[in-house]
Structure formats: structure tokens, C-alpha cells
Amino acid sequence: MNLCDRIVTKIPLEILWTSENELESQRIDYLTPTIIRDLLKQGEVYFIVADVGQKLLWIQPAECYEFWKSEIHKHVATNLDKINLENYPGNYAYIASKWTSYAHRPVVLLEKIH
């Protein structure tokens, strides 16, 4: 399969990919909104949205602050043991995790739960 056509088939993800290749990256830890905010204070990050049935959506670092404000901060799950979607706008949430980076910026994966 051509990687540019690859879709997310299950969550949690075990590997990240771009349209060109699979990345040698692994999950480091799960993140809270506070930790993500602290990462953003240090500089730009790559956000990646994983939604089952869709392609990975890479948010470019130049767009990370706006994406945080408009989409992420109100949807990041804080209690991973029990996610009640009714507590989030639109009845969806993200499980956020930091991954080892192939770039010089942090990589934050947002796995969409709905």
C-alpha cells in the first residue's frame, strides 16, 4: 500500500508515518493539557491527529498554536481510565501522547475518541 493512502485502522497507534515513510518513533508518555501547554511555551510542536478511518493529519509547527487554541485544549482527555465523551464539546476527545521525534521539535499524537 502506498503510504500516502494509508488510513488509521485502530487506536492506539503503534507506529507513525508520513506520506513517504514509516517513522522510527515510539510513544514516550501520555500528556495532559497542562503538559502540552508547557511544551508550547518552549516552542513549536508537530501535532498529529489519528482518527480511525482517516489518514493521519499532520499539523505543521507554524499552525500549532492556533490549532491548540481552536481545537485541542478543550478536547484533551485528562482521565484516561474513564473518558466520558459527554464532558467534551461535540462528544469527542483526544488521547494525547508524546513520541520520540525524528525532527528537532516535539511530536504530539492526538488519538481521537468518539
**Dist. CA 114–CA 112, nearest whole Å:** 7
Q: Which residue has the cell 501535532?
A: 47
How many distinct structural domains can be found in the chain? Answer: 1
Predicted TM-score (pTM) of this structure: 0.94
User: What is the CA angle 81-82-86, rounded to 5?
Assistant: 155
Neighbours of 76 (CB within 10 A): 22
pLDDT per residue as tens digits for the range 32-80? 999 999 999 999 999 999 999 999 999 999 999 999 999 999 999 998 9
Q: Which long-range contacts (CB under 8 A, 24 or more apart) does 11-17 make?
A: 11/50, 11/52, 11/95, 11/111, 11/112, 11/113, 12/95, 12/111, 13/50, 13/109, 13/111, 16/48, 16/56, 16/99, 16/107, 16/109, 17/56
Q: Please report the pLDDT score of residue 95 as a whole number.
A: 98
Q: Which residues span the domain enclosing 102? A: 3-113
Q: Please report the pLDDT score of residue 1 as a whole number.
A: 63
